[in-house]
Structure 1
Amino acid sequence: MSDPDADSDADGISMDDRDGSGSDPDASSDHGSHSSGDSAPPSDGFAGPSDSASSTDRAGSADADAPRRVDGGERTESGTGGRDRVTIEDDGVVRWFLKTNDGTIVLLRDVLSSVAIVAVIGLLLFAVSGVWPPLVAVESGSMEPNMERGDLIFVVDEDRYAGDGAAAGTGIVTAATGEDSGYEKFGGDGDVIIFQPNGNDRATPVIHRAQYHVEAGDNWVERADSDVVRGASCSDIQTCPAEHDGFVTKGDANDGYDQDFRNQGAGSDVVKDEWVTGKAMFRIPYLGYVRLAFDGMLANAAAPGLWSSLPLGLLGVTSAAVVAGRRPGRP
């Protein structure tokens, strides 16, 4: 039979273990002498080993999250591997923008850096060429094989880098003069020029070879290649005699002169000196396709009239598409 006093003692121990608040320390010691060897869980008023460890972890975590000082007095941030933490308040907007690791700001920095690099390249090209845009893209095939569709052409002012025998008052050497002097550009005699057909600055520029220079009143057909004019006389061609000084032009792959409207050339009157916007110096194959694709996408997104008037540029460098006339039979 069990001892009632022992049962009462056991009950008292069990209750004290469940609720240590208000228990007497001596009683706790006494309870320990009656326990069966199992240590009682720490009571709410006392910190056991696990509680001490937890408290230490929390304190350590708080210390880790707090800004710390390193050599030189700079603050660091937890998880940054010792890198300086930059704030607008302490470092100013400029230093913060240049040093912060914020993802959005890093992306913006990269974009601005790229734009700045392209702008510098554009300015250098402008300084060398003297015209804007200094790079133009060939849009069709009338200068083949010496210029191909998609070529990017570096252009300079007509007065720069003039060859021997340039036409009076210009820096342009015509094919007729170049044949005698041995001056060649792009696989043929004379300079290849960029001009606004009929002086229309809203029309797509044309890039063709200058054949010869004429003066007002000249019967330029007499000087023309008879095969190219197909035996026509001055009276058969609208632009003859010449109404003003200028250049007779032709695409290398075209069958007729641009001033002979019976052909599918540029359809321009004799090209005045002031209509010339530059002359071609060298080409970069295929790179012009980037510009042409860019033009096509934006042209589809904007009204045609609006698009033709916008001075848009690709990366600030290729700012105009140049159409090299049209070959016979091409749309």
Structure 2
Amino acid sequence: MRITAENLRKIFSRCKKIADKLPPVIVEFVSAVLILGIVMGGIWIYSGQPFPGSPPLVVIESGSMTHENEPFGGLGTIDPGDIVLAKAVHTRGDVITYASTKSYRTYGNYGDVIIYKPLGRTDLTPIIHRAMCWVEYNANTDTYTVEEYNIINATSITIPELHLYNYKPAHSGFITKGDHNLYPDQHPDAQICREPIEVNWIIGKAQGELPWFGSLKLMLSKNEEGGWGASEVPGDSWTCLIISIVILLSIPLSLDIRDYLRERKSK
């Protein structure tokens, strides 16, 4: 059947006739499911993530990306309980590093924030940290180049700003760091991911922010130490979450009350 305006009107008319025969509760439920499916489908398509595959939405679990003097509720930064979109990364050029720009900012600092699997392992919790620079390793000459820090064909990597001294990784990749952390993930004392982050380890780069609502998921989970998953959610995030839920619940309730009063007045 050809998709024409007339055919769409016929389909809509049939759906409306079916909906008129169903209880309002079922119609509202089906409508909500369809709307949610359309929204999630649009998000998945925009993210570029394969389907089925890695989910495009990621809940922040730790405070490693928090900033000092954040605004109330942490808007514009990444805090425990926030949800971000993981947009697919296919090449090194899809990621802008901290040290390569002084104009492009995300989540309160320069450069992109990436979500990656430590050492490419799926059994470890993904990390969401900022890409600081790219290390290029030449296996033929056993040398390293880090253009952002003017290191060219060196036998080891020393970047005092990142507390890296005589660093000799086994391959090319991104140096990453949590904004709230002292050391990059590749520092021995960080104990996060000793090697630079290869592109194929990256789940995606963080975009957008749905603040606070990921706390609901963390409430029902445990952290890596076996404790309560939402233990690191800031107090102001809980306050903002409660206010948001109250507002969202009050909107349909207010509309129902308005319709009831109008109907009563008309009688």
The TM-score, its normalising length taken from structure 2, stands at 0.59
Whether the 8 Å contact between 1:197 and 1:275 is mirrored in structure 2 is yes
SS at match of 1:233: strand
Instruction: Flag the 1:100–1:210 CA change in 2: closer, same or farther, 3 A.
Output: closer
Q: Which amino acid aligns with 2:37?
A: A
Distance in 1, Cα, partners of 2:17 & 2:89:
46
Instruction: Flag the 1:96–1:280 CA change in 2: closer, same or farther, 3 A.
Output: closer
Whether the 8 Å contact between 2:173 and 2:196 is mirrored in structure 1 is yes
| CA apart distance, 1:210 | 0.6
Instruction: Flag the 1:201–1:255 CA change in 2: closer, same or farther, 3 A.
Output: same
Q: Which amino acid aligns with 1:222?
A: I
1:144 maps onto 2:66 in alignment: yes
User: Which protein is richer in strand relative to its size?
Assistant: 2
Distance in 2, Cα, partners of 1:148 & 1:277:
19
Superposition pairs of residues 65-104 of structure 1, within 5 angstroms = 99-101=21-23
Whether the 8 Å contact between 2:134 and 2:172 is mirrored in structure 1 is yes
| CA apart distance, 1:130 | 0.9
SS at match of 1:142: coil
Instruction: Flag the 1:293–1:107 CA change in 2: closer, same or farther, 3 A.
Output: farther
Q: How large is the Cα RMSD of the aligned pairs?
A: 2.7
Superposition pairs of residues 235-254 of structure 1, within 5 angstroms = 240-254=167-181
Q: Which amino acid aligns with 2:86?
A: V
Whether the 8 Å contact between 1:192 and 1:208 is mirrored in structure 2 is yes
Whether the 8 Å contact between 1:170 and 1:273 is mirrored in structure 2 is no
Among 197, 202, 208, the residue aligned to 1:276: 202
| CA apart distance, 1:295 | 4.0
SS at match of 1:210: strand
Distance in 2, Cα, partners of 1:202 & 1:116:
34
Deviations 1:223-262 (A, max 9, x none): 42x2542xx632xxxxx31211111111000011111121
1:189 maps onto 2:110 in alignment: yes
Where does residue 154 of structure 1 map in the other structure? 85
Where does residue 116 of structure 1 map in the other structure? 34
- Greater Cα shift, 111-120 or 214-223: 214-223
Deviations 1:153-199 (A, max 9, x none): 1221225xxxxxxxx743111111123xx222212111111101110
Superposition pairs of residues 48-67 of structure 1, within 5 angstroms = none
The TM-score, its normalising length taken from structure 1, stands at 0.49
Distance in 1, Cα, partners of 2:41 & 2:221:
22
Where does residue 216 of structure 2 map in the other structure? 290
For structure 1, the residue ranges without an aligned partner over 5 or more in a row are: 1-93, 160-167, 235-239, 301-331
Larger-gyration structure (1/2): 1
For structure 2, the residue ranges without an aligned partner over 5 or more in a row are: 1-15, 68-76, 147-155, 227-267
